[in-house]
Amino acid sequence: MSSSDESSPFTTSTAGQAFLVNPTEKEKGPGVLVLHSWWGLTDWTKTYCRNLADEGYTVLAPDLLEGAQPQTEEEGESTLAALDPDELSGLVMSSAQTLRAVSEDSNKPLAVIGFSMGASLALWLSARLTHDVAAAVIFYGAQSIDFDDATASYQGHFGTDDHMVTEDERVLTESFIGLGGCSTDFYTYEGAKHWFCESGPNYNEEASTLSWQRTLTFLDSSLRQQEADT
């Protein structure tokens, strides 16, 4: 995947610190919100956003940890535990609203992609801002909440050797989404671990490449096809 240089830090009074990147071929594109894992708004996350922008999307990644970038699982867990849940959920919602305002068409819903902690938040967001989120892509994250009012389509990516999200949690998450009447397309990757997409010891090139291709196809059908139908 290539990266773009057309990117910038972004700050508003409601969305806080974030990373915003627009497509290189045009001024703006459909909006994609990226919610990072508990490793923080890392260089890997920013590169992922640039790669999405290279595909024609306007991408916003809020800094959910206010600059923190834990180096170990213990640090990540303690950093997450120290966050105020209300402030975190408010930041996610305001970031989605900010992205809609700066994307190609503020009247169009957006997509959200979440990793681990960010995946749980992405699922939550889709069930709360039901008409703002048209598509949700989750990587190794789970939620057991009510999706009855959700209108999004869902794609999920999970490793079979995940020490943090069990098979039961994955199945339960998919079941809750299905009970809400939404479509799901969940994939498992043999031998892949938690954070298999992200830089670090758990990185799995084969699973990462395949999940990227599947994500692009899903975004195209969920966002661009929706535009063609309206």
pLDDT digits (tens, 9 = 90+) for 135-173: 999 999 999 999 999 999 999 999 999 999 999 999 999
Return the DSSP state at 25.
Answer: S
pLDDT at 24: 82
pLDDT at 25: 74
What is the average pLDDT across 22-41? 93
Length of the chain as a residue count: 230
pLDDT at 26: 79
Q: Which of 110, 65, 113, 103 is nearest to 87 (CA)?
A: 65
Q: CATH number of 7-229: 3.40.50.300, 3.40.50.1820, 3.40.190.10, 3.40.50.2300?
A: 3.40.50.1820
pLDDT digits (tens, 9 = 90+) for 50-94: 999 999 999 999 999 999 999 999 999 999 999 999 999 999 999
- For the cut 90, the answer to whether the pLDDT of residue 228 exceeds it is no
- For the cut 80, the answer to whether the pLDDT of residue 229 exceeds it is no
**Residue extents of the structural domains in the chain:** 7-229
Tokens of 35: 């919610």
Q: Are 135 and 218 contacting, i.e. CB atoms less than 8 angstroms apart? A: yes
The C-alpha atoms of residue 126 and residue 117 are separated, in whole angstroms, by 15
DSSP secondary structure, 112-147, as one string: EEEETHHHHHHHHHHHHSTTTEEEEEEES----S--
pLDDT at 5: 40
pLDDT bucket at 134, cuts 50 / 70 / 90? very high
Q: Are 10 and 58 contacting, i.e. CB atoms less than 8 angstroms apart? A: no
